[in-house]
Amino acid sequence: MKARRVVVTGLGAVTPVGNDVQSMWGNIIAGKSGIDFVTRVNKDEFPAKIAAEVKDFDPLLYMDKKDARKMDLFTQYAVAASKMAVEDAKLVIDEKNADRVGVWIGSGIGGMQTYEDQFRRFMDKGYRRVSPFFVPMMIPDMAAGQVSIQLGAKGINSCTTTACAFGANSIGDAFRAVQRGDVDYIITGGAEAPITNMSFAGFSSMKALSFNEDPTSASRPFDKNRDGFVIGEGAGILVLETLESALERGADIYAEIVGYGATGDAFHITAPAEDGEGAARAMKQALETAGMSPNEIDYVNAHGTSTELNDAYETSAIKQVFREHAHNLAVSSTKSMTGHLLGAAGGIEAVIAIKTIEEGIIPPTINYETPDPACDLDYVANEARHQKVKAVMSNSLGFGGHNAALIFKQYTN
């Protein structure tokens, strides 16, 4: 059976730089940062003082109060972004197609705030005071579960948990599900709400976070003076469907998804493989599955976390894969503005990659001031660039040695 072509027809986002795709995109191309002093935890108790928090999010715009109370924040973000994406796709889910509509939404940490709140309640007042909704609010798959329930999607319902790569892995796995015929439509991406005391403590203890106390300049991917990532939160969701169904119902097509690579480092629990060896293999796989040559990629939305090893090794990986074309590529990290949404970054960055193709504008890497000899590519420093973009690769790399690369290209008949 010939693999079916898969296109993107809907986008949804809840982010630190805007709670819908239009707002997010406008701020991204303007180079506006969503990073500020953290408010979800007491910053005086931690060496890290800043975070990229979602602002002014109202779950009741997307669900009733009773349902919202049964969801951790990461699930609320997922439901909101999914409803936006389905509405954007003008996809009606009813008894005629419900079993052909899937959901594949990842989360890495899941309901961490729920866990912390209920653990305190258990320690203070005993098990009888623990909420009966504790487990279904906490488990990482509940974003996918609740989206399915809220939207009536009865096809494959799954959750990928691969640390900071799960958003991209979810989209790639969903792409394959549509491609091979498991479903005709799928709602996919990632959601995360990790800004809690224990998360902040854990990442601070391992010295992964930036200890810079200037919110506007702390996230500086590929800059020589980078000192760690800035933790963020939110959700990024796509609607994927077969080209045949999109054409049949007259849907607007943002882009075609054509490539997916996923590899393991087999190296270290947190550090990336030396010189980005695993990331390079993921990028090569994505190109091979897309049937594309390296010089057909115009832009790489990099994982670019603003950490010492990631940025240097990802640069090395790009050079291994693209060789002489590497220095002709535009490469940028939008984490300079959104912070690092952990695995949800892959969902948000897929939305950004697709908007880059649609709008012909490449987002910048802000705060790029001091070049690092180990990071010597074109990082679209500080200002967006107007440029026709036909194909984009989006990279996501996670603790545990998880590597994922996606390729989106301009749709043509």
Choose the catalytic residue: 159, 268, 303, 402: 303
Does the annotation count 340 as an active-site position? Answer: yes
H or E element, residue 262: strand 255-264
Taken as a whole, the chain contains a residue count of 413
Contacts (Cβ under 8 Å, ≥6 apart) of 157: 102, 103, 104, 144, 145, 148
260 token code pair: 């997916």
CB of 408 closer than 8 Å to CB of 390 = no
End-to-end CA distance of the chain: 20
Choose the catalytic residue: 159, 340, 375, 402: 340
Contacts (Cβ under 8 Å, ≥6 apart) of 17: 23, 24, 27, 28, 32, 33, 34, 337, 338
CB of 375 closer than 8 Å to CB of 312 = yes
Q: Of 396, 2, 405, which is closest to residue 179 (Cα–Cα)? A: 2
Does the annotation count 375 as an active-site position? Answer: no
Does the annotation count 303 as an active-site position? Answer: yes
Helix/strand/coil for 123: helix
Choose the catalytic residue: 164, 268, 375, 386: 164
Q: Are strands 391-398 and 402-409 parallel, antiparallel or unpaired?
A: antiparallel
Contacts (Cβ under 8 Å, ≥6 apart) of 220: 226, 306, 336, 366, 367, 368, 369
Q: Are strands 299-301 and 234-242 parallel, antiparallel or unpaired?
A: unpaired
How many other C-beta atoms can be found within 10 angstroms of the C-beta atom of residue 128?
Answer: 7
- The per-residue b/e assignment along 42-73, b for 16 or more CB within 10 angstroms, e otherwise, is ebeebebbbbbbbeebebeebbeeebbeebbb
How many other C-beta atoms can be found within 10 angstroms of the C-beta atom of residue 204?
Answer: 17
CB of 249 closer than 8 Å to CB of 15 = no
Phi, psi values for residue 53, rounded to 5°: -95, 145
Residues with catalytic function: 164, 303, 340
